[in-house]
Amino acid sequence: MKIQAVRAYQVYDSRGDPTVEAVIQLTDGTVGRGIVPAGASTGAHEAKELRDGDPKRFLGRSVFRAVGHVNGELADLLIGRNVLDQPGLDASMNELDGTPDKSRLGANAILAVSLAAVQAAAALRREPLHVYLGKGRGHLLPLPEIQIFGGGKHAHGRVDVQDFMIIALGAKTFEETLEITFNVYRAAGKIMRRRGRQSGVADEGGHWPDFATNEEALGTLIEAIEAAGYTPGRDVGVSLDLAATDLYHEGRYEFGLEQRKFTTEEFIELMISWVDRFAIVSLEDPLAEDDWAGWQKIRQAIGHRCQLIGDDLFTTNVARIERGIADAAANAVLIKLNQIGTVTETLRAIEVTQAAGWLPVISARSGESEDAFIAHLAVATNAGQLKVGSFARGERTSKWNEVLRISDELGSTAEFRGAQLFLEHGISQTVPR
C-alpha cells in the first residue's frame, strides 16, 4: 500500500516543550501517527533534534523548521512509496538528510515520520503494533524499572543521582510489579510527608528529592521498601541512573550537593560500596560517556552481580554498542528511539545487544508524550525490561497500562520471566546487605 500524504505539526510533550507529531495517510485512508520525545540529560553522541533557536518564540524551543522538513522534503521523498518497506523508508530519509547525526533535517523530524509509517503499516495489516513490529514473535512482558525519587537534571540538580528506582525482584507477574511499586511509592511519600519534605514530583513523576546527601536518598529508599513490607535485595532491588556524564568535569566526577570530587577509581569504589550497602541490582551510566577504561574496570569489578547499563555511552548507536561489546564495557544497553532517530536503527540496536548476550532496556525520555509505542517495542522484541519513569503522571502510566492491555491480548501466550532474566545473563539479582 502506498503513502498518499505526509504532514506534521508542532505539539507538546510532558514538560510543555514543543515537539513534532507526524501523520502518514495511505491511499486507502489508513492513518498512522508518530510523536517524538525529548531528553533533558542527553549524550553527546545522540542524533540531533532540530529546534528553531528563536528566543522570541517558545524561548528558542519551537520545532517549526523540523515540521517544515516533514511537510516539504520528507513528504516529497515518501509520497508514493510502499509503507510496508520500513527499512527502505528509514534508509532513504537518512540518505536525504546526509549527515551522520541527522542534524540537517533533524532527528525529531525523521523519527516522527518513521514512527508514523510503522503505525500506519500496522493499522493497514490490522495487527496490534507489537505483532507487526515483532513479526508475531513478541511474547515476553517486561520487568519495569520505576522511579521513586527523581534527581539530576530531572529535578534541577537537587541531588546528583538522576534516578532512584526500584525493580520488583520477587514479582511473579507484570501485574505484581505494579502493585509492589504502588506500595513502595506510597510508602516513600508517607515518609517524606512525615518529615515535612514532600514538595511535589520531578520531571518523570518521582517524588521531588529533599535530601542533604545522595546516600540519604538511598537510605530513605531502603526505608520505604521496608515500610511497604518488602525485603531489599530479595523482594525489591534498587536501580540507579547516575547520568555520570553530567557529573564529569575536568577529569573528575563531582557531587555538587556534597561538594565532593572523585577520580574514576574513587568513583568506582563508591559505586561498589553502594552496591554492597543499598541492595543495588542495576546501575545506569555509572561513568561518563567517553570513560571507556573506567567502564571496563567497573564491569570487571561488579558486572557479575549488577546490571551495568550504558545510556550516554551507547546512545542506541550500533557502532558504539559493538565497541562496548568488544571491550566488555557493560552488560546492558538502554534503548531510546530518539537517540538514533529511526525505528529500523532502533530494532537493529536491540538485535545486536541481544546477540551478544546483553540485556536491552527499552526506555522513555524525561520529555514524554501520551503515546505508548515503547510498550509495544518492549514486547515485540522480547527485550525483557522497560523504563518509563515513575508511577505517576499520565505520560508514564500510559506505558504501564499499555503493557497490561498487551498482556490481555496475548492471553496464555504471554510470558513474564521477571528478575530471572538477570540470572539467565550471568548477573546475580540478590545483593547482600
Question: Taking Cα atoms as reference points, which of 313, 316, 249 lies closest to residue 285?
Answer: 313
Sheet holding 252-255, edge to edge: 248-249, 252-255, 260-262
The CA-based angle 143-278-256, given to 5 degrees, is: 105
336 is catalytic: yes
Q: What gap in Å lies between CA 234 and CA 415, rounded to an integer?
A: 21
* Strand duo 248-249 + 237-241: pairing: unpaired
Please state, as a whole number, how many other Cβ atoms lie within 10 Å of the Cβ of residue 57.
12
Given the residues 204, 289, 368, 395, the one annotated as active site: 204
- 343-355 and 86-97 helices, crossing angle to 10°: 110
416 close to 140: Cβ distance less than 8 angstroms: yes
Phi-psi domain of 125 (left: phi exceeds 0; alpha: psi -120 through 50; beta: other): alpha
Cα 69 to Cα 9, 104, 117, 337, distances in angstroms: 11, 9, 16, 19
E strand intervals along 245-384: 248-249, 252-255, 260-262, 280-284, 307-310, 332-335, 359-363
Name the helix (H) or strand (E) containing 112.
helix 107-125
Reduced 3-state DSSP string for 377-429: HHHHCCCCEEEEEECCCHHHHHHHHHHHHHHHHHHHHCECCCCHHHHHCCCCC
- 174-194 and 394-410 helices, crossing angle to 10°: 160
Given the residues 336, 387, 395, 402, the one annotated as active site: 336
Residues involved in catalysis: 204, 336
